[in-house]
Amino acid sequence: EKQAEDSNSAECSEPGAMDLKFTSSRKYISISVPSKSQAMSPHIKSVDDVVVLGMNLSKFSKPTQFFVCVSGVFMFYLIYGYLQELIFSVEGFKPFGWYLTLVQFGFYSIFGLIELQLIQDKRRRIPGKTYMIIAFLTVGTMGLSNTSLGYLNYPTQVIFKCCKLIPVMIGGVFIQGKRYNIVDVSAALCMSLGLIWFTLADSTVAPNFNLTGVILISLALCADAVIGNVQEKAMKLHNGSNSEMV
């Protein structure tokens, strides 16, 4: 009996184990806790994996990964903005912002399915109810944003969309319970002040400035703020992949 107790005690002292002692029976129960890598989802090879457009950037240094990701965001966003403004410059197209949204989501679905076929793990981890909320808000934010181009010039819309940080921070407080320091709040306030001055200047020099457009793009930003926080919370909670989310 003494040897059995010593053996159980030795097992409970191993790293990564949790021991529960019952004083009445003088017995020990050993519960193994899996390591972080074991608890990860099968589709994630490493916490350091950075996959962009199907390409694994993990072999590059952290600054190189950051530069590639930032450059890609700017490049694709500039092309997207140019084509979007080019579409709305077509005579008679301005009332069809929601039609453009429909076409965009059709191609999003096609590209998302193609990417999903290229990965090994195709299981859905995030609940369908969460995806319904995200999909509804995504349609809303893109539809409102596209429609606002019928009332605003493109630079004004871009400035508003670049100030998404402000509603995202507010949404992070209420949705994820985040806390921000004085530096973050100061940066948001400076951005708000810059937005106010730019809007006042644009209202006097731009011939197609319209208050309706400002309201539409503001509603789009509010929906966008909820989307980002819900996506982040769902992916952390259920360990979902980017391809699944798309």
Which H or E run contains 130?
Answer: helix 128-148
- pLDDT recorded at residue 60: 87
CA angle 30-22-27, nearest 5°?
Answer: 55
Does residue 210 fall inside a structural domain?
yes
Three-state DSSP at 55 gives strand
Asked whether residue 127 is domain-assigned, the answer is yes
Burial of 229 (0-12, 13-18, 19+ CB in 10 A): buried
Structural domain includes residue 236 = yes
CB-count burial class (<10 Å; 0-12, 13-18, 19+) for 233 = middle
Strands 27-32 and 55-56: unpaired
**Any domain includes 194:** yes
Q: Can you point out the beta strands (E) in the chain?
A: 17-22, 27-32, 51-52, 55-56
DSSP helix/strand/coil, 52? strand
pLDDT in tens, 10-36: 444 444 444 444 444 444 444 444 444
Helix (H/G/I), strand (E/B), else coil: 199:
helix
- Per the rule left: phi > 0, alpha: psi between -120 and 50, beta: everything else, 44 is beta
**2: confidence class by pLDDT, cuts 50, 70, 90:** low
Please give the structure tokens belonging to residue 83: 């084509």
Report how far residue 211's alpha carbon sits from residue 152's, in angstroms, rounded to the nearest whole number: 9
Residue 24 lies in a domain: no
Give the count of domains, the chain. Answer: 1
Q: Which residues pair with 22 in a beta bridge?
A: 27
32 SS3 class: strand
**Could you tell me the residue range of the domain that residue 223 belongs to?**
113-244
- Residue labelled with tokens 């995504």: 138
> Counting runs of H as helices and runs of E as strands, what totals does the chain give?
9, 4
**135 domain-assigned:** yes
151 Cβ neighbours under 8 A, 6+ residues apart: 208, 210, 212, 213, 216
pLDDT tens per residue, range 93-152: 878 888 988 999 899 888 888 877 877 667 788 888 888 998 898 888 888 888 887 787
b/e 163-190 (16+ beta carbons within 10 angstroms → b): bbebbbbbbbeebeeeeeeeeeeeebee
pLDDT tens digits, one per residue of 178-220: 888 888 888 888 877 887 777 667 666 655 567 888 888 888 8
Query: Does the structure show a pLDDT above 80 at 223?
Result: yes
DSSP letter assigned to residue 207: T
Q: How large is the C-alpha radius of gyration of the chain?
A: 25
Asked whether residue 3 is domain-assigned, the answer is: no
Cβ–Cβ < 8 Å for 144, 214: no
d(CA 150, CA 88): 7
Residue 176 lies in a domain: yes
Claim: this prediction has a pTM higher than 0.75: no
Residue 155 clears pLDDT 90, i.e. is over it: no
Residue 224: count other Cβ atoms within 10 Å of its Cβ: 22
